[in-house]
Amino acid sequence: MREGRVLCFLTALVLVAAHGVNGEDPYRFLTWKVTYGDIYPLGVKQQGILINGQFPGPQIDAVTNDNLVINVFNYLREPFLVSWNGIQQRRNSWQDGVYGTNCPIRPGKNFTYIFQVKDQIGSYFYFPSFGFQKAAGGFGGIRIWSRPGIPVPFPSPAGDFTILAGDWFKTNQYILRRLLDSGRNLPFPDGLLINGRGWNGYTFTVDQGKTYRFRISNVGLTTSINFRIQGHSMKLVEVEGSHTLQNTYTSLDIHLGQSYSVLVTADQPVQDYYIVVSSRFTTRVLTTTAILHYSYSSKGVSGPVPIGPTTQIASSLSQARSIRWNLTASGPRPNPQGSYHYGLIKTSRTIMLANSAPYINGKQRYAVNSVSFVPPDTPLKLADYFQIPGVFSVGTISSFPTGGNAYLQTSVMGANFREYVEIVFQNWEDTVQSWHIDGYSFFVMG
């Protein structure tokens, strides 16, 4: 009995302390106006989704543990929902901006997202997660800087550039959405963009002899990309908030949703160089370029655009395997990343997820462990919170591939709070599959 009381008292103390710390962390207030606007990324006029008049949207700059308060006004004629790719939402899933946990903002209304970038550093991005709106824009970069005094495992670069790259369709997002809804496949993309621009549409200016950080995210819809800079090598330093072993690469594969930071030293003769992005694992290869411009250069880009890998899979896998955590480097806190002893964690459960692309009722669908998800009329989070029966039941999807025929279901898999889960992904399709484990922290085991 007395032990019980002591425990309660301690818990209360910890809560008060945790609350106090939270209150001391700075708040950053942002106001976003989401509108339509004409954009011409591939030379033809399209209706884009702009944030504060910009395509891509404004960059969010934050420092570890900042509280972000983002008041989003939706001036579109359709609901709008924005997700924070790579940001952990700790017991905060209703701020995560995915359908089911967070309601879209109705046209003409506003909603304020409030979340803390607790114990995070690194490069991320945000994007609209609803109604295929990502095909019209609405995405932008997120940089979470280290707090002052926390060591960063490389010298401070002379500049910090964001590259949001990805495939792009000239077709408007309503038509793309209708194609999918009618059970057909997406067409092949029309091109690639770098920061919302086409061929040579964007220039990064550097001084000879200095070193710059480039944060590259693949913000596309369907295609893996390869990134390279003519005549320059890249030292990989960070992948989505983890400092890596600092390997040097001449080109990097970046799959959908991934964000990489590289250091590039302007160590070549003063002139302009191509920054190249090309599609990966596609038989027709899409390519686009931006310009690395040396200050005082009077010589424009020249020579052939450097070619990269195209359909080869083995080199991509071996490159992915070469990317490793530097366990002795600091992370968001001064202690080394390795001090968490992640390698010694005992997992309590294994989940095996196999993706498939079945036809159900004559329509192209996508399924996990034979279940193709159907969103319920009542959002899952509300059904859960208000305990509304009949919307979903836990365990409506198996934790392992069943091999059975695919079917439609509002599937929900249960997990225990604070559980460490091992997730194994299986892809028996002949296309690359990207998974987004939304709002969670996870690390690759093999």
Using the rule CB under 6 A, which residue among 144, 329, 368, 371 binds ligand NAG?
329
Tell me whether residue 96 or residue 167 sits nearer to ligand NAG (CB atom). Answer: 96
326 binds ligand NAG (CB under 6 A): yes
Residues 226-285 that bind ligand NAG (CB under 6 A): 245-246
Tell me whether residue 112 or residue 350 sits nearer to ligand NAG (CB atom). Answer: 112
Segment lying near ligand NAG (by CB under 6 A), choices 82-90, 109-117, 188-196, 280-288: 109-117
Q: How many CA atoms lie within 13 A of 219 on its CB side?
A: 35
111 binds ligand NAG (CB under 6 A): yes
Give the whole-angstrom CA distance, residue 136 versus residue 150: 38
Tell me whether residue 29 or residue 440 sits nearer to ligand NAG (CB atom). Answer: 29
Segment lying near ligand NAG (by CB under 6 A), choices 104-112, 197-205, 222-230, 389-397: 104-112
411 neighbors 397 (Cβ within 8 angstroms): yes
37 binds ligand NAG (CB under 6 A): no
112 binds ligand NAG (CB under 6 A): yes
Q: Residue 261 Cβ, how far from ligand NAG at the closest point, in Å?
A: 13
Q: Residue 30 Cβ, how far from ligand NAG at the closest point, in Å?
A: 11
Give how many residues touch ligand NAG by CB under 6 A: 10
Tell me whether residue 323 or residue 432 sits nearer to ligand NAG (CB atom). Answer: 323
Tell me whether residue 167 or residue 238 sits nearer to ligand NAG (CB atom). Answer: 238
Establish whether the linkage from the previous residue to 401 is cis, with ω within 30° of 0: no
Contacts of 130 (CB under 8 A, 6+ apart): 79, 80, 81, 99, 104
Indicate the SS3 state at residue 2.
helix
Q: Residue 225 Cβ, how far from ligand NAG at the closest point, in Å?
A: 25
Tell me whether residue 11 or residue 328 sits nearer to ligand NAG (CB atom). Answer: 328
Spell out the alpha helix ranges (H) of 194-329: 314-322
Give the whole-angstrom CA distance, residue 10 versus residue 288: 58
Give the whole-angstrom CA distance, residue 148 versus residue 159: 17
Give me the residues paired with residue 288 across strands: 277
Tokens at 57, concatenated: 């949207």
Segment lying near ligand NAG (by CB under 6 A), choices 74-82, 106-114, 118-126, 157-165: 106-114
Q: Residue 78 Cβ, how far from ligand NAG at the closest point, in Å?
A: 18
Indicate the SS3 state at residue 121.
coil
Using the rule CB under 6 A, which residue among 52, 92, 110, 399 binds ligand NAG?
110
Give me the residues paired with residue 278 across strands: 226, 287
Give the whole-angstrom CA distance, residue 404 versus residue 103: 33
Q: Residue 246 Cβ, how far from ligand NAG at the closest point, in Å?
A: 4
Using the rule CB under 6 A, which residue among 71, 172, 427, 433 binds ligand NAG?
71
User: Which position has the token pair 């880009």?
Assistant: 301
Contacts of 430 (CB under 8 A, 6+ apart): none
Using the rule CB under 6 A, which residue among 79, 153, 191, 231 binds ligand NAG?
153
290 neighbors 258 (Cβ within 8 angstroms): no
310 binds ligand NAG (CB under 6 A): no
Q: Whose CA is closest to 268, among 304, 290, 235, 292?
A: 292
Tokens at 394, concatenated: 């836990």
Tell me whether residue 225 or residue 252 sits nearer to ligand NAG (CB atom). Answer: 252
189 neighbors 222 (Cβ within 8 angstroms): yes
86 neighbors 241 (Cβ within 8 angstroms): yes
Q: Residue 330 Cβ, how far from ligand NAG at the closest point, in Å?
A: 7
144 neighbors 118 (Cβ within 8 angstroms): no
Tell me whether residue 71 or residue 433 sits nearer to ligand NAG (CB atom). Answer: 71
Segment lying near ligand NAG (by CB under 6 A), choices 32-40, 169-177, 321-329, 340-348: 321-329
Segment lying near ligand NAG (by CB under 6 A), choices 117-125, 193-201, 291-299, 326-334: 326-334
Residues 38-67 that bind ligand NAG (CB under 6 A): none
Tokens at 417, concatenated: 């709070």
Residues 10, 15, 21, CA angle at the centre, nearest 5°? 125
Using the rule CB under 6 A, which residue among 22, 250, 328, 335 binds ligand NAG?
328
Indicate the SS3 state at residue 169.
coil
Interface residues with ligand NAG (CB under 6 A) are 71, 110-112, 153, 245-246, 326, 328-329
